[in-house]
Amino acid sequence: MNFDHILKQIKDAGFVYLGGFYPESHQTLALIGNAGPQMWQSFTTSCDTSSTTLDQWTETTITCLASTINATALFPFDTPPHPFLTWAQKSGETFTSPLGLSIHPRYGLWHGYRAALIFECILDLPAVTATKSPCDDCVEKPCLTKCPVNAFSLHGYDVPGCISHIKSGDGADCHELGCRARRSCPVGHKFHYSPQQAEFHMAAFVKAHG
């Protein structure tokens, strides 16, 4: 199967290709997810978001996609969990940012892994476009200084401090527009989430950790 055809199918489903590799001599693994507003627009226009969760929509949509391209779909919310971040590193398409989040040379911090597609054959994957992290040439590293409560440092991430701030009156900016530290990153600026998408993800983050 031509991988260009698969890329079109992934795009038509509302997702983007985020890298891949060959886990076995006869297998191809392709990571897909969101970058910018494309997935959000597909999600909000194709279902009732008040009764359907993003994970439910993702599973239904990607399972259907997988069946049309002869692939098996794996998800970050499967039990037991799959090593998506390890897979991302193996793809060579992403790097670890100072925030601890994966950074993509094109999409910056504005991407997320929604599924992996396993093909029982070797496919000609697109060439890796970057050989080093964009953070290597970022001298100022604004992501480490823009957090209002200094939740991020080279030593780790203060999740309780972050959650407490978001829940407070002073945290409206982060809650409504997304993490200020994340927004300060200059890479992938045009893929920033809309306020509606950012607020949706922040609310889910608070619910999961708060």
Residues near 137 by beta carbon (within 8 Å), at least 6 away in sequence: none
For the chain, the domains span: 3-131, 135-209
Instruction: Provide the pLDDT for residue 106.
Output: 93
Measured distance CA(58)–CA(33) in Å, rounded = 9
User: pLDDT confidence of 208, banded at 50, 70, 90?
Assistant: confident
Contact status, residue 16 vs residue 34, Cβ threshold 8 Å:
yes
Residue where the block lists tokens 């000609």 = 124
User: What are φ and ψ of residue 37, in 5° steps?
Assistant: -90, -5
- Looking at the whole model, is its pTM more than 0.85? yes
Amino acid at 144: L
Which whole number is the average pLDDT over 32-55? 91
pLDDT score of 1 more than 80: no
Per the structure block, which two tokens stand in for 189? Answer: 């600026």
Q: What is the pLDDT of residues 125-157, one digit of tens each?
A: 999 988 899 999 999 999 999 999 999 877 789
Q: What is the DSSP string of 85-113?
A: HHHHHHHTS-EE-TTSSEEBTTTBT-EEE
Q: What is the pLDDT of residues 58-89, one digit of tens each?
A: 999 999 999 999 999 999 999 999 999 999 99
User: pLDDT confidence of 37, banded at 50, 70, 90?
Assistant: confident
Measured distance CA(17)–CA(11) in Å, rounded = 8
pLDDT score of 210 more than 70: no
For the chain, how big is the Rg over CA atoms in Å?
18
User: pLDDT confidence of 96, banded at 50, 70, 90?
Assistant: very high
SS3 of residue 16 by DSSP: strand
Residues near 128 by beta carbon (within 8 Å), at least 6 away in sequence: 19, 91, 92, 93
